[in-house]
Amino acid sequence: MATEHIVVVGAGQMGAGIAQVALQAGLRVSLVDVNKDGLAKGADRIKAGLKKLVEKGKLDAAKQQAAEANLATFTSAREAKDVDVAIEAVTENEDLKRRIFLELDEVVRPGGILATNTSSIPITRIAAATKRPEAVIGMHFMNPVPVMQLVELIRGAATSEETYTTIRTMAERMGKTTVVSKDYPGFIVNRILIPMLNEACFALMEGLGTAEDIDTAMKLGTNQPMGPLQLADFIGLDTVLYIAEVLHKGLGDSKYRPCPLLRQYVDAGWYGKKSGRGFYKY
């Protein structure tokens, strides 16, 4: 199955990162975002990322130029033509994703694939919004995409073997290592990661230690490169809360209940690094 032309919907950090690694793999990429400023920033982020690789000697100038020539930007996915694969990488909102998949169903050529970068929403529910549920798959990249090696592949109830094999091959072409998760809330990474971050929030709320002490303890005590509260800030506390809610609702177990302090910070607009304040100030 051909995967030479992909559409990436969402030009934020995740979408731009996905587009960059696809371009580095020699794919033709149409980057789509309804926000013109966000689209321009995404394209600039991609070009800056490619330039940095050239400066580090990890990419030659000819491949940089070829990659940039293979990038097109649009404010509507309908402007892209002859699309083999669409990868949706918008904010973690199920209603929004389902609306986008309805549109992508009309954009991607017959026989093409619809992938979502969702970090927690069931693939089966997203696929149900399309006319081709067998061609829908989860393709969860880790952030920052150009650096992190993992891609979680999640098969919905109807995902075909051909869809899975094609997307796994494409991910490997992008230089990624893949793992396969069943279609349960949070998949593998966030099923384990989000409860840890949430528990760190409870530890802070209960006065077990300061944010700095909690993070230092986990970094030095468990050999993690970043403490859980700082990591939550980098992910975005609103995103952490949303995934925690998906886990709590989807699995029905009180152990996944979001920490009240996490919810309070989100209510205050303290989303972490992207807003300038979370558990730390930036």
Query: Do the beta carbons of residue 171 and residue 24 sit within 8 Å?
Result: no
What pTM was computed for the model? 0.91
On whether both 15 and 124 belong to a single domain, the answer is: yes
Q: Is 140 a catalytic residue?
A: yes
Asked whether residue 281 is assigned to any structural domain, the reply reads no
Asked whether residue 188 is assigned to any structural domain, the reply reads no
Residue 246 structural domain: 194-273
Asked whether residue 73 is assigned to any structural domain, the reply reads yes
Q: Is 2 annotated as a binding residue?
A: no
Burial class for 224, CB neighbours closer than 10 Å (0-12, 13-18, 19+): middle
Asked whether residue 91 is assigned to any structural domain, the reply reads yes
What are the percentages of helix, strand and coil residues in the chain, rounded to 5? 50, 15, 30
Does pLDDT of 258 surpass 80?
Answer: yes
Average pLDDT over every residue of 136-151: 96
96, two tokens: 């929004």
Phi (first) and psi of residue 143, to 5 degrees: -105, 135
Encode pLDDT of 13-57 as tens digits: 999 999 999 999 999 999 999 999 999 999 999 999 999 999 999
CATH number (domain holding residue 133): 3.40.50.720
Average pLDDT over every residue of 263-272: 98
Give the ranges where 29-137 is alpha helix by DSSP (H): 36-55, 61-69, 94-107, 123-127
Catalytic residue (choose from 88, 117, 120, 152): 152
115, two tokens: 């992938």
Return the SS3 of 88: strand
Q: Which residues contact 235 (CB under 8 A, 6 or more apart)?
A: 143, 197, 272
Encode pLDDT of 49-103 as tens digits: 999 999 999 999 999 999 999 999 999 999 999 999 999 999 888 999 999 999 9
> At 2, is the pLDDT very low, low, confident or very high (cuts 50, 70, 90)?
confident
CA distance 181 to 152: 7
On whether both 35 and 82 belong to a single domain, the answer is: yes
Q: Is 223 a catalytic residue?
A: no
Catalytic residue (choose from 181, 190, 198, 248): 190
Catalytic residue (choose from 5, 30, 120, 140): 140
Asked whether residue 229 is assigned to any structural domain, the reply reads yes
Asked whether residue 280 is assigned to any structural domain, the reply reads no
pLDDT at 88: 98
Asked whether residue 225 is assigned to any structural domain, the reply reads yes
Q: Which residues contact 214 (CB under 8 A, 6 or more apart)?
A: 200, 203, 204, 208, 227, 228, 229
Among the candidates 130, 148, 182, a domain finishes at 182
CA distance 50 to 19: 11
Q: Is 276 annotated as a binding residue?
A: no
Asked whether residue 52 is assigned to any structural domain, the reply reads yes
> At 227, is the pLDDT very low, low, confident or very high (cuts 50, 70, 90)?
very high
Does pLDDT of 3 surpass 90?
Answer: no
